Amino acid sequence: MMAAEEEDAPLDGQEVLRLLDDVRNRIRITVWALHGMHQDMTALCVDDLAELEHLLTETVDHLLAPAYEAVGQMLGATPGGAVTTH
């Protein structure tokens, strides 16, 4: 029960910054992997692309979404809409 209460608790500014830093690092990993694919088309296989898709989906769902909501609450803004995922 306590874990559910902690999930509903608003994030503080430091936590939002930590989430955004994690997002930045994950995007850098993705860019690095795609750059390698650009240099050598055989560098990544289908499984690697699936891993990148999983990494980006997890990043959006578990890092960006909470950070977005927290910043929206801090600014008193209304959410703009849902992100479509596959």
| Residue-wise pLDDT tens digits, 37-70 | 777 777 778 888 889 899 999 999 999 999 989 8
Nearest alpha-carbon partner for 52 in 37, 69, 74, 68: 37
pTM greater than 0.75 (yes/no): no
Euclidean distance between CA atoms 71 and 27, whole angstroms? 20
- Mean of the per-residue pLDDT values of the chain: 81
Burial of 19 (0-12, 13-18, 19+ CB in 10 A): buried
* Residue 18 in this model has a pLDDT that exceeds 60: yes
Assigned token pair, 53: 């898709």
CA distances from 78 to 33, 72, 74, 81, 82 (A): 35, 7, 11, 9, 12
